[in-house]
Amino acid sequence: MKKSLSIVILAAGKGSRMKSSKAKVLHKISGKEMLYYNINESLKLSDDVIVVVAHQKDDVIDAMSKYFNNITFVTQDALNYPGTGGAMMGVKPKNDRVLVLNADMPLVKAEALSGFIDSKKQVIMSIFELENPNGYGRVVIKDNLVQEIVEQKDCKDEQLKIQSVNAGIYAFDNSILEKYIPLLSNENAQKEYYLTDIIKMAKDDNIEIEPLKVDEEYFKGVNSKKDLADAELIMQDRIKSEWMAMGVSMQLPNTIYIESSVVFEGECELENGVRITGDTLIKDSHIKAHSIIEDSIVKNSDIGPLAHLRPASNVEDTHIGNFVEVKKSSLKGVKAGHLSYLGDSIINEGTNIGAGVITCNYDGVKKYQTIIGKNVFVGSDTQLVAPVIVEDNVLIAAGSTITDQKVKSGVLAISRTKMKQIDGFFAKFFKK
């Protein structure tokens, strides 16, 4: 199967309706660029995946090369031949059968493409029915055969009412593309070469085209920020449903955001409002309400409510309480219950981090590390001025500012001015 199909992904457009300086296909859904999903699904079906680029070509190629090294990029001459038909002009598929996908369909799944792949017809195109077909090309159907696709901007008033829309996915025999692509013209409202015009040309040559009905959930086109948000909702529902099916507990899942790169193992529980992003692994842990975890590893721990694990945090057998921020730190067997900043640190088993403890990791120029050994009691409101190593079995008194670069095992570390009590001061001060 993989050998006999080429897939062309059209990703060269500007995406002006996004009202953004960034190419449309690089806008992200659940943490990854829209185009990523399209390519990822296509590679499950074909080893000849061709991505057509033009607008912000270098950015698009760079972004995708981070994920894939087995796709071909072709550049569209978008200046002289704009439009989805123009995009096909320089494409040379290796196989006789070609699936063409618009790149602005981030919800597509390989399984949902089987109808296109199984069919042997010369031309297949897909439709779905919409209450509000706004923005899509309308599909004129007679006796269950497609007559033509009319782009919204070219529609007569009557045609605007058609609710069957072109999903933007087609399968062709390559001979059809070779025959009709050179014949496309740009005599239309947008002065573009429309790939969709092939359908009418083929029909006029007596090729019968039955519409393949597909589900909007997989083929929704993203043209605007609103479309992007709607697609995000569907993607999130998909990601969360899959993890719940795998045993992850979620309270009020509609309030939870999980990116597509996040992995769960074992028994995990997520409370409402949790956000988990990037390359995060959560294993056998409880993430409490409104916590944020980015690019981190959390094992056998409880986090939050309202905690923030920033990238490169590695937290194991640990309790992180409310208003604790952790960044680029490894905590193993630690309790940090309240209101702390732990950055660029390594903290070992049995250590208690009191409320308000801060690792002062930055001197305005460079970042420095804090290493805290086993069984250290760090009193509340301690500042650890990095670089600093606190050895095992140390007691740091509340309110201390630790400026020694090494605190020796077994000591009490204390840095406070001695407290005074001045008799009669209150009455004198407030003149009572």
Residues annotated as catalytic (active site), given as ranges:
338
Out of 196, 236, 340, 351, the residue judged to bind ligand UD1 by CB under 6 A: 196
137 binds, among Mg ion, ligand UD1, none (CB under 5 to 8 A by kind): ligand UD1
Site membership for ligand UD1, residue 30 (CB under 6 A): no
* DSSP letter assigned to residue 266: S
Q: Looking at the DSSP assignment, which residues form a beta bridge with residue 8?
A: 50, 100
Instruction: Report, in Å, the least distance between residue 120 CB and ligand UD1.
Output: 24
Q: Is 146 in the site for ligand UD1 (CB under 6 A)?
A: no
Query: Is 38 one of the binding residues for Mg ion (CB under 5 A)?
Result: no
Q: Please tell me whether residue 63 binds ligand UD1 under the rule CB under 6 A.
A: no
Contact between 126 and ligand UD1 per CB under 6 A: no
By CB atoms closer than 10 A (0-12, 13-18, 19+), residue 1 is exposed
104 is a contact residue toward Mg ion (CB under 5 A):
yes
For position 280 contacting ligand UD1 by CB under 6 A, the verdict is no
Segment interacting with Mg ion, rule: CB under 5 A, options 101-109, 125-133, 209-217, 306-314: 101-109
Mark the segment that binds ligand UD1 (CB under 6 A) among 7-15, 63-71, 268-276, 401-409: 7-15
Nearer to Mg ion, 135 or 266 (CB): 135
Dist CA 96 CA 3 (whole Å): 10
- Residue 106 binding partner per list Mg ion, ligand UD1, none, with a CB distance cut-off of 5 to 8 Å that depends on partner kind: none
Q: Which pair of tokens denotes residue 366? A: 């460079």
Distance CA 195, CA 192 (A): 9
Indicate the residue whose CB is closest to ligand UD1. 137
Report the nearest approach of ligand UD1 to the CB of residue 257 (Å). 25
Closest CA to 128 of 8, 38, 218: 218
Residue appearing with tokens 């190593």: 389
**Residue from 29, 37, 83, 258 in contact with ligand UD1 (CB under 6 A):** 83
E strands of 11-144, at which residues?
Answer: 28-29, 32-33, 48-53, 72-75, 97-102, 123-129, 138-142
Q: Does 82 contact ligand UD1 by CB under 6 A?
A: yes
CB of 38 to ligand UD1, least distance (A): 9
The answer to whether 49 contacts ligand UD1 (rule: CB under 6 A) is: no
- State residue 338 phi and psi, 5-degree precision: -150, 140
Phi first, then psi: give them for residue 192, nearest 5 degrees. Answer: -120, 160
**How many CA atoms lie within 13 Å of 16's alpha carbon, on the beta-carbon side?**
3
> Which range in 5-13, 92-100, 295-303, 400-408 contacts ligand UD1 by CB under 6 A?
5-13
Q: Which stretch binds Mg ion (CB under 5 A): 147-155, 214-222, 296-304, 324-332?
A: 214-222
Q: Which is nearer to Mg ion, 223 or 330 (CB)?
A: 223
Scored b (16 or more CB within 10 A) or e, 58-69 reads eebeebbeeeee
At 99, the amino acid letter reads L
Q: Which is nearer to ligand UD1, 13 or 93 (CB)?
A: 13
168: contact with ligand UD1 by CB under 6 A: yes
> 149 or 250, CB closer to ligand UD1?
149
How many residues contact ligand UD1, by CB under 6 A?
Answer: 29
Q: Which of 5, 13, 42, 256 binds ligand UD1 (CB under 6 A)?
A: 13
DSSP class of 93: -
Query: 220 or 240, CB closer to ligand UD1?
Result: 220
Residue with tokens 């509000």: 132
In this structure, the dihedral spanned by the alpha carbons of residues 216, 248, 314 and 337, taken in order and rounded to 10 degrees, is 120
Is residue 137 close enough to count as binding ligand UD1 by CB under 6 A?
Answer: yes
Amino acid at position 423, single letter: D
Whose Cβ is closer to ligand UD1: residue 52's or residue 214's? 52
CB contact at 8 A, 145 and 231: no
Is 221 a residue that touches Mg ion (CB under 5 A)? yes
Give the separation between CA 16 and CA 168, rounded to whole angstroms. 18
Cis peptide before 182 (omega within 30 of 0): no
Query: What do you get for the CA distance between the two ends of the chain, in Å?
Result: 92
Dist CA 381 CA 213 (whole Å): 64
Task: Give the separation between CA 4 and CA 27, rounded to whole angstroms.
Answer: 31
* Contact residue for ligand UD1 among 45, 113, 195, 292 (CB under 6 A): 195
8 is a site residue for ligand UD1 (CB under 6 A): no
- Using CB under 6 A as the criterion, which residues of the chain lie in contact with ligand UD1 when the complex forms? 10-13, 25, 52, 76, 78, 82-84, 86-87, 102-104, 136-137, 149, 151, 165-168, 194-196, 221, 223
- Using CB under 5 A as the criterion, which residues of the chain lie in contact with Mg ion when the complex forms? 104, 221, 223
